[in-house]
Amino acid sequence: MVDGRGNKPKVIVIVGPTCSGKTYLAIKLAEILNTEIISADSRQIYKLLNIGTAKPSSDLLKKVRHHFIDILNPDEEYNVSQFENDAEQIIEKLISQKILPIVVGGSGLYIKALIDGISETADKDDEIRKDLLDKRKQFGNEFLYKELKKVDPVSADKMLPQNWKRIIRALEVFHVTGKPIWKHHQENKKQNEFDFLQYCLNWERETLYKNINDRVDRMIEAGLVEEVKNILSLGYSENLNSLNTVGYKEIISYLKDEITIDDAIRLIKRNTRHYAKRQLTWFRKDNRISWFDVKKFDDLDIIVKKIIQGIEV
């Protein structure tokens, strides 16, 4: 999909750590450019998970059309490959209507899949996968992670032990093909039809951490505990992947009397800060991203103007 002058259609991509103002920035841009937003957030896709995922308010969702928000029930499965395919279709549709798409989110793997592709073409083997699942059950995530480090340290360095599904997939590919999964991704590298303009919001660490702590306090005041109670009262299992998320798993522990509410709040703040740090580490590895330093939320309006100026050049 190339225009008559040989230029690829542009797509704006707003990334950054949690609590950095991505939603505000994207909505401001969408209003000015009269466009729609594609959410690249692996948790905001779920209905009922509102407060804990910092989902845009219903008023904001009415202002600007968002894709991939509230599309699944908490017990439904959705993966990065599906997101890649579905998001591409929406982008193509918007561009065909002369609309400039805006992708926004902090799920690095979703963003990477959309821009660079994620290969699912490597052979699969149900017996090997079952064996790996059995080993996880018997020895735990750390054991599988160490196994991957032995045979594919490059992929292991990009994962954490709790990313057990990705670890099992990487081990499966290696045992079936004899090659690490990153080689398969490289060999099946995506030929992109779009010009992705990526921007990341970067805060001073202390300020970002204060923003996170303040947001967690607001989530508790807004009724996060009641939100989790409601989800579980509807019969959804506490072990669902959608609920294995910062904010939800700590409140579930509190509801099971494993920790106090003060401990839950402290852990949510700590775990969210750790998550933000991992997000920044992920995005810093991509030298195609343009970074904007942010000292206060008022700076976001200036950044909106800079992005629009950059698009018009």
Domain ranges (residues) in the chain = 10-117+190-312, 126-187
Q: Convert the pLDDT of each residue in 90-127 to its tens digit.
A: 999 999 999 999 999 999 989 988 998 876 555 667 77
- Band (286; pLDDT cuts 50, 70, 90): very high
CA 123 to chain centre: 26
State the average pLDDT over residues 281-301: 95
* Mean pLDDT score across all residues of the chain: 92
What value does the mean pLDDT take over residues 136-165?
Answer: 92
Q: Is the pLDDT of residue 14 over 80?
A: yes
Alpha helices per DSSP H over 157-298: 164-177, 181-187, 205-222, 224-233, 248-255, 261-284
What CATH architecture is 10-117+190-312?
Answer: 3-Layer(aba) Sandwich (3.40)
10-117+190-312 and 126-187 share one fold: no
Q: Which CATH class is domain 126-187?
A: mainly alpha
DSSP 193: S
The Cβ-side half-sphere exposure at 166, using a 13 Å CA radius, reads 18
When pLDDT is averaged across residues 285-309 and rounded to a whole number, the result is 95
The residue behind tokens 């947001």 is 215
> What separation in angstroms does the CA of 181 have from each of 65, 94, 136, 188?
36, 33, 19, 11
- Lowest model confidence (mean pLDDT) among 85-94, 176-185, 284-293: 176-185
